[in-house]
Amino acid sequence: MVTGNSKVSKANGTLSLLLLLALLLFSLVPTEAQIGVTYGQSGDNLPSPQQVVNLYRSNGIRWMRIYYPDPATLQAIRNSGVTLLLDVPNDQIQNFAQNPSAAVQWVKQNVVPYAECISFLAVGNEVTQNIKQYVGPAMTNTLNALNSFGSLTSHIKVTTAIGMSELTNTYPPSNGQFADLPFMDPIVNFLKQNGSPLMLNVYPYFTYIDNKGTVSLDYALFTSPGTVVTDPNNGLHYQNIYDALVDSVYAALAKRDAPNNQGGPPNNSGRGPHTQVITSETGWPSAGGDHGLVRNAGGDSAASVSNAGTYYRNMISHAKVGTPLNPGPSLVFLFSAFDENKKLGDATEQHFGIFNTNGTPKYPGLNFNS
C-alpha cells in the first residue's frame, strides 16, 4: 500500500494525527505480522460492542473487520487503538453505483466521524452475480465521496473482498486466473490506480472437504512436514494449501497487468509481489459436520475443536512468513470473534468463533502479538 498526500480535511481532525496514522498504518508491506479478527453479530447471546472492543484490546488484537457500520461498534472503537476494515454492505452497492450522492451521504454518516480509526473500506463482500456490474462504479463513487471530505484517502483505502470462487485454474498456483474478467478487470484497474490492496476470503477448510483424496488434512492445517507441491512453472515450493491459494490470486493479478505498487523488495528469485493481497477472512470451524461431505481417515469430522485450534495457531505464526510469491509479514483477519448462533447456511457457519461468548478463549495459546 502506498501513502497518499498528507493534506487532511479539518472535518476529520488535525493534520498531525492523520499523517501519523498514514505513516504507521500504511507502511505495508508490514514490518511485522499483524492479526485482525472479524466481528460478526449474527447471534442472540453475544457481548456488547464495548465489551468486544475491550476483549480485542486485552488480547492485543489491533485490527477488526465489521460487515456494516454498526453505530455502537463505531462508537466503542474510537480511541481504542483498534483499526477497522469496514464493509459497505452488498445491499448498498447498486445504489452507490447509480447515485453518487448516496455514497457521499453514507461516508458522511459512517466514515467521517470515525475516520481516525478506519483504514479500509471494502465495497462488497463476495458479491452475487446480480450486482457484480455495480461493484467497480460503486468503488469509484466511494473514493470520490472520501475525497469530497478532504484527503481521507491518505489513510483510508477503498477495496472489495472476493472469495476463491472468483479464481479458476488454481493448480499449480502460477496458473491462477480470474474466472469473470468483466467483473474483475474494473476492480483490478481501480486497485492499480489507487494503490489499494485486494481483500481475499480464503478457507483451506473448504478446499480440503471439497477435494477428498487430492488435498490432505496436513496440507490444509499447515502441518505437512515438507513440500507437498512444487510449481513446475516457477519452481516455487508449497507446504500448505493457504499459500497455494493466495499465490494463485497473485498469479491472476499478474495476468491482468497488476504490478507491485507496495514498494516491497523482490524475493530471492527476483519476482516481486504484485498488487497487495490481504486476507480479509480465514478460519476453521470447530463443529458442524463438514456439510455431510467428507470425514478424515479416522471417521471424525474435520470440523473439530482440535483442528480449528491447530489452524488458528499455525495461521497466526504463518502471517510472519508470507507466501512464496509474496514473502514477508502480512496482515491477516481471522474469522471470527464468536460463534454466531443465528448465522444462516450450513451448520459449520455457526462455529467459527475463536472466543466463547463470555470472552474466554476457545483455543488456549493463541498469541495475537506473535
- The per-residue pLDDT for 175 is 95
- The per-residue pLDDT for 301 is 86
Which residue, 194, 65, 201, 69, is CA-closest to 136?
194
Alpha carbon distance 245, 173 (integer Å): 7
Q: Which residue has the cell 502471517?
A: 319
Q: What CATH fold (topology level) applies to the domain 163-180+204-329? A: TIM Barrel (3.20.20)
250 φ, ψ (degrees, to nearest 5): -60, -40
Residue numbers of the chain with a pLDDT score lower than 70: 1-31, 259-274, 291-300, 370
Assign 3-class secondary structure to 207-271: HHHCCCCCCCHHHHCCCCCCCCEECCCCCCEECCHHHHHHHHHHHHHHHCCCCCCCCCCCCCCCC
76 φ, ψ (degrees, to nearest 5): -65, -30
- The per-residue pLDDT for 250 is 95
Which residue, 64, 67, 69, 88, is CA-closest to 142?
88
Catalytic residue, from 32, 116, 166, 281: name it.
Answer: 281
* 32 part of the active site: no
- The per-residue pLDDT for 290 is 77
Q: Exposed, middle or buried by CB within 10 Å (0-12, 13-18, 19+), for 352?
A: buried
Alpha carbon distance 370, 368 (integer Å): 6
What is this structure's pTM? 0.87
The DSSP secondary-structure symbol of 355 reads B
Alpha carbon distance 57, 354 (integer Å): 15
- The per-residue pLDDT for 31 is 55
**Grid coordinates given for 162:** 472476493
- Domain limits, the chain: 163-180+204-329
- The gap from C-alpha 310 to its chain's centroid, in whole angstroms, comes to 20
- The per-residue pLDDT for 297 is 43
- The per-residue pLDDT for 370 is 57
- The per-residue pLDDT for 7 is 30
Catalytic residue, from 126, 166, 340, 349: name it.
Answer: 126
* 281 part of the active site: yes
- The per-residue pLDDT for 154 is 86
CA atoms within 13 A on the CB side of 30: 17
- The per-residue pLDDT for 152 is 87
